[in-house]
Structure 1
Amino acid sequence: MALAEIPLCVWRKRSQTFVFRGQTIRYWAAGQGEPLLLIHGFPTASWDWHYLWQPLAQRYRVIACDMLGFGDSAKPVNHDYSLLEQADLQQALLAHLNVEQPVHVLAHDYGDSVAQELLARHYETRADIASCVFLNGGLFPETHRPVLMQKLLLSPFGWMIGRAFSRDALVKSFQQIFGPQTRPTESELDDFWSLVDSNHGQRIMHKLISYIPQRRVQRERWVSAMQRGEVPLRVIDGEVDPVSGGHMVARYRQLIPAPDTVLLPEIGHYPQIEAPAQVLKHYLEFRDRLVSPPRKVACS
């Protein structure tokens, strides 16, 4: 089953804005029903979800934003970017939209870390999370294998590397992390680059990359929250992703009680782009199971 894409030009026209701590944030909302918050990854934006947007909006109230420093949202230069602040942003967006129900979360990459923070806040009674599904991301710092560009951005010369970041550099990075048969088209690469380049995003890439050491600081708190087992969790993971692929899922199965994991063979770091129909199938299966849990059969 092929899912219809939403061209970036159309996606942008459907955006709305709100102000978070003095900065303009682009967001999207559609559908009715239980709220579903989609949280994108680094270095891209909420357009990552465009294949899934309409099918999910047919069943849920779907909400997404370009986080601070990403996509078409504000990218202040003199700002210290923080995963904790991005979680604040997600909660501010929900408040802006008057969402009072428990929220389901579907996250990817950098967004996984934001989702982990929201999950930790749930157990601290500072958020109300109904379920969480993670796509490829660095859930455990010990399994995250950064690509060369990420390592360079983390170096003392990161500010220079970021300013020199180009479409060609993005293409080289994506060639490493997508599945061999599911790499983006030239048109898709143009669109991904447009979102990175928007509002001179190269100037802050070395600041955004600080999420990697931030993950290490929060590791125990976040993993402990995942181990609680009270909020339903699932991982849907592209297996051949060199950053957070099958090796991350193996660690997840070691650490998380009763782990619910799905591996997608031959799929890389962006399963919602590379195999959106598979992601949709496994996500809806997860959600349907929450509504109708398997019946226990008595044995005699």
Structure 2
Amino acid sequence: MALAGIALRDWRAQGSSFTFRGHDIRYWSAGSGEPLLLIHGFPTASWDWHYLWRPLAERYRVIACDMLGFGDSAKPRGHDYRILEQADLQQALLVHLDIHEPVHLLAHDYGNSVGQELLARHEAGGFALASCVFLNGGLFPETHRAVLSQKLLLSPLGGLFARLFNRRRLAQNFARVFGPASQPSEAELDAFWELIRHNDGPRVMHRLIHYILDRREHRERWVGAMQRTAVPLRVIDGPVDPISGAHMVARYRELIPQPDTVELPGIGHYPQVEAPEQVLQHYLAFRQERVR
């Protein structure tokens, strides 16, 4: 049965706010039980999870925020956006919600790097992680195949390119990274663009893209944490994704002991949007089979 999504207007109405280091952050929380933290990717926002939100909230306490620089949260100009700060934000949100027990994690893309940092903190005794599932994302910088727009944002012309970024360019990029039979609808593209555009978001995209450099800088810490950890891990991946598809999964199987991976045939970079029913199925199976 197809999962019913949540319209962006309704999603926004369900959100709340808290202050993180002087910046307004929008977040969402629903359900009860074990906490499940959902972390979105670049350049979108927590609305990415809207198909999965209700079915997951029927089983767990689900929590998500638009990270600093994304979606409906503050997007300060000139800010030095770093993955370590975004991990601090996730921890601050959990404190704000008075959650102190071990947390389950479901992450995508940029959120994978935040999740890797939280896993490294868990290994160092600074965070309590119960399980972690990664969707498509650059878990290994050597397998991340940046698209042209990412390369331009990271270049000396990044600020100019960011100011010229618009819905048309977004649609072109998504057409390349979504699966051929699971392309976003015009309504979905409108919603994605609205979240990027909000608070003059394109003007900070060239600063947010620094996460690609963060991945290189922290590779040994983050990959090492995945190799050492006893925390249950799974990768659910859309293999036709040109950025982090089948080639990323192959590298994961080379480097991670007893790798637990699932590939969704024909699906691209956004499996939670392209094939939410399959993601839900494999996520719930992971919780039943691997997490005690």
In 1: Cα distance, 2:100 partner to 2:84 partner: 21
* Structure 1 residues 109-138: Cα deviation after superposition (integer angstroms, max 9, x where no partner): 000000000000001111000000000000
Are 2:140 and 1:173 equivalent residues in the alignment? no
Q: 4+ residue stretches of structure 1 with deviation over 2 A?
A: none
Q: Find the residue that maps to 1:11 and give its secondary structure.
A: helix
What stretches of structure 2 of length at least 5 have no aligned partner?
none
Amino acid in the other structure paired with 1:211: Y
Are 2:213 and 1:210 equivalent residues in the alignment? no
* Structure 1 residues 1-38: Cα deviation after superposition (integer angstroms, max 9, x where no partner): 20001000000000000000000000000000000000
* Structure 1 residues 143-173: Cα deviation after superposition (integer angstroms, max 9, x where no partner): 0000000000011000000011000010010
Q: State whether residues 42 and 109 of structure 2, in contact with CA within 8 Å, keep that contact through their aligned partners in structure 1.
A: yes
TM-score normalized by the length of structure 2: 0.99
In 2: Cα distance, 1:122 partner to 1:262 partner: 24
Residue 100 of structure 1 and its aligned partner are, at CA, apart by 1.1
What's the counterpart of residue 2 of structure 1? 2
Residue 229 of structure 1 and its aligned partner are, at CA, apart by 3.4
* Structure 1 residues 217-257: Cα deviation after superposition (integer angstroms, max 9, x where no partner): 00000011000131000000001000000000000000000
In 2: Cα distance, 1:185 partner to 1:78 partner: 33
Residue 291 of structure 1 and its aligned partner are, at CA, apart by 4.8
Residue 139 of structure 1 and its aligned partner are, at CA, apart by 0.1
What's the counterpart of residue 26 of structure 2? 26
Are 2:237 and 1:240 equivalent residues in the alignment? no
What's the counterpart of residue 120 of structure 1? 120
Q: State whether residues 180 and 266 of structure 2, in contact with CA within 8 Å, keep that contact through their aligned partners in structure 1.
A: yes
Residue 289 of structure 1 and its aligned partner are, at CA, apart by 1.3
Q: State whether residues 131 and 291 of structure 2, in contact with CA within 8 Å, keep that contact through their aligned partners in structure 1.
A: no
Q: Find the residue that maps to 2:224 and give its secondary structure.
A: helix
Q: Find the residue that maps to 2:37 and give its secondary structure.
A: strand
What's the counterpart of residue 90 of structure 2? 90
What's the counterpart of residue 297 of structure 1? none
In 1: Cα distance, 2:263 partner to 2:290 partner: 20
What's the counterpart of residue 231 of structure 2? 231
What stretches of structure 1 of length at least 5 have no aligned partner?
293-300
Alignment of 1:1-300 (within 5 A): 1-291=1-291
TM-score normalized by the length of structure 1: 0.97
In 1: Cα distance, 2:178 partner to 2:62 partner: 26
In 2: Cα distance, 1:212 partner to 1:290 partner: 31
Amino acid in the other structure paired with 1:13: A
Q: State whether residues 229 and 257 of structure 1, in contact with CA within 8 Å, keep that contact through their aligned partners in structure 2.
A: no
Q: State whether residues 40 and 108 of structure 2, in contact with CA within 8 Å, keep that contact through their aligned partners in structure 1.
A: yes
Identity %, equivalent residues: 70
In 2: Cα distance, 1:100 partner to 1:86 partner: 18
Amino acid in the other structure paired with 1:113: S
